[in-house]
Chains A and B, each alone.
Chain A
Amino acid sequence: MTNLNLVCLDFQECSLLTSIQTTLTEILSSTILLSKDEIEIDNFFNADRGQYDAAAILSLYEKKGLNRRTIIITSVDLYIPIFTYVFGLAKLEGKIGIVSAHRLKSDFYGLPPDEDLLKSRLVKEIIHELGHLLNLRHCPDYQCVMASSNTADDLDIKGSHFCNSCLGKVGNH
């Protein structure tokens, strides 16, 4: 479908990376390039909120000028000024998106850690943000990966694949 850069930025769950890469390659039928970035993420920390500004991080990468669609994965808790939190962020038809594992972990909700569940949620969130980069909007099909999801439960209900309608829309990319 589309080649994708996956950039780790302060991503703690390194053991999951290879597995995520393999799953994404299968689902997207694309080459997934893994890399690591060492930018000073603390520059984006908001002490009042105890969170990191997702929009500001994306702006920094936009300024760098990217030639391939890129999704940043991180373990820090993300926000944008108007929202209390975001799982991820990407502009429609943009080049760069970001996904946080922070609120996708079971232990965030007081449950025992579950790596498989975390991987599944991360994969869905990465594909979802990639969908926005491909100009896809939220999908009314609750099983489609482009269905809107504001809670971890929403993420678990939906699948990891694009529905036929969304697939048709991204066919050219």
Chain B
Amino acid sequence: MKEDSIKILIVDDEEIVRESLSEWFKEDGYQVDSAKDAVEALNKINKTRYDIYFLDIKMPGMDGMELHRRIREIDKDAVVIMITAYAAVDTAVQALKDGAYDYITKPFDPDNLSHLLRNAAKQRKLTIENIELKGSLEALTEAPIIIGVSNHMAEIKELIHTVAKTSTTVMIRGESGTGKELVAQAIHTESDRRFFPMVTVNCGALSETLLESELFGHEKGAFTGALYRRKGKLEIASGGTLFLDEIGTISMKTQIDLLRAIETKEFTRLGGNQTIKSDFRVICATNTDLEDSVKSGDFREDLYYRLQVYTIHLKPLRERTEDIPELVQFFVDRYRKKMNKPVDGVEPQALNMLLSYPWPGNVRELENAIERAMVVTKNKKLAQNDFNLNQMDEKIEYTPQQSIELVEKKHILNVLNKNKWNISATAKILGIDRVTVYKKLKKYGITRPDND
């Protein structure tokens, strides 16, 4: 913000003051406007936002004190400087208590006025800069978009909203690809911790020692290859959120250390003695049955209860198919922008196909399917043949009414499809020899699809 972008409004009933100050400020490169009384000033303020106001305290009609209060109501960050005569210093002090930036007494010392204006302009610039920076920070920490019109998604949004403001440990459960990390991100960005980092650790991807080092950090020389001191994710997440994905996979030893760290918010780096304090909030996710792991003794019961304080259970996509059309449109829009391709939706037949598909990979699979279709399509709308859905993964429904022959037929067909009709591979999986496979195909009238 340069001088010429700072707007000053001078409100004084004396023409000489208005003119002299205007001229003086213009010479310094500011944009200056003036008003003879409060009414004219308020009319001007309604049309233009000024940065700095010079208000004479004594004016006919509404005085400068009241005008100051009105300006504060319109713009609480405005810089207001009161103009006063020596006799009215008490009033000027009251104005300062009401939030005025400063006051000057008539006649002004030119040097003092210059300094005052320079400081006032600096204050205004900092305020505006601060507002802008906060705005861009808010934009950076904008909550991720959670798509879905189903009742289930509405409940999830409500659960996120409820728990976000607390520091409670949250467990997010759901199949792979249902958006557990997205929910964790939403909780983080809705919480007061949003200006601090959200640190994600994929527990399943790391070996025990590597995970411990990732979580707690290590001192130089703690183990072979520990050439430098390294901060752990628990330490980095201080003030923010620690998201532990695939929590069910961590080893017993790490479970003990993690439980202690979560309960005391204190830990030591590997190979270190110094106790480190960190204020982190834990969100964890799992797609496995933790209760089974607890029963079998693979997961500590105390840690289980410590993590299970507030649970959000995400339903698989096949159980909330009403969300599919909106998700499809969202991903089409996303990839249209990314790929700069003029595709604006899907054909009704294709959408029906997407609605009937069981989506074992959930939303992640849906996104990948749309991305692939967007790559191959030559049309404005995605058609059925643009999709290459992994139908082989379709779950086979077994009901008590089905004969063993029907189940066998379905199973053989499924394995064949999965192995691209490779008979040897199919035989190996089914545990029968190739000749038996051929016999069964003949028996059930299964023929190789023409296009293969």
Contacts and interface: CB of A to CB of B under 8 A. Distances in A.
Interface stretch (A9-17, A84-92, A114-122): A84-92
B114 A148 contact: yes
B12 to A, nearest CB: 9
Given A92-B23, A92-B27, A138-B27, A83 B109 contact: yes
A29 interface: no
A71 to B, nearest CB: 16
Nearest to B30: A137
Contact of B20 (A80, A132, A140, A148): A80
B26 A81 contact: no
A22 interface: no
A79 B107 contact: yes
B28 interface: yes
A86 B29 contact: no
B111 A151 contact: yes
Category for how many chain A residues contact B: 10 to 19
A150 interface: yes
Contacts of B28: 137-138, 148
A84 B112 CA distance: 10
A137 to B, nearest CB: 5
A interface, over-half SS: loop
A82 B27 contact: no
Given A55-B20, A81-B107, A92 B114 contact: no
Interface in A131-160: 132, 137-138, 140, 148, 150-151
A2 to B, nearest CB: 19
Given A81-B16, A82-B17, A82-B20, A132 B27 contact: yes
Contacts of B29: 137-138
A137 B29 CA distance: 6
B17 A84 contact: no
A83 B27 contact: no
A81 B111 CA distance: 15
A84 B107 contact: yes
A137 B26 contact: yes
A100 to B, nearest CB: 13
B58 to A, nearest CB: 15
Nearest to B114: A150
Nearest to B109: A84
B23 A91 contact: yes
A109 to B, nearest CB: 14
A82 B16 contact: yes
Contact of B106 (A82, A85, A91, A151): A82
B438 interface: no
Interface string A53-93: 00100000000000000000000000111111110000110
B16 A137 contact: no
Contacts of A138: 27-29
Contact of B110 (A81, A85, A137): A85
A81 B109 contact: no
Q: B16, B28, B29, B107: which has the most chain A beta carbons within 10 Å?
A: B107
Contacts of A148: 27-28, 114
A84 B113 CA distance: 11
Contacts of B111: 150-151
B21 interface: yes
A84 B28 CA distance: 18
Interface in A5-37: none
B86 interface: no
A79 B110 CA distance: 10
Nearest to A87: B110
A83 B26 contact: no
Nearest to B28: A138
B26 A86 contact: no
A86 B108 CA distance: 11
Contacts of A151: 111
Nearest to B21: A82
Contacts of B21: 82
Give the top 4 A-B pairs by smallest Cβ distance, nearest first.
A150-B111, A150-B110, A82-B20, A137-B29
12 contacts: A82-B20, A82-B21, A82-B107, A82-B108, A84-B108, A85-B109, A92-B26, A137-B26, A138-B27, A138-B28, A140-B3, A148-B28
Interface of B: 3, 16-17, 20-21, 23, 26-29, 106-111, 113-114
Given A80-B16, A82-B107, A137-B26, 12 more contacts: A55-B20, A82-B17, A82-B21, A82-B106, A82-B108, A83-B107, A83-B108, A84-B109, A137-B29, A138-B29, A148-B28, A151-B111
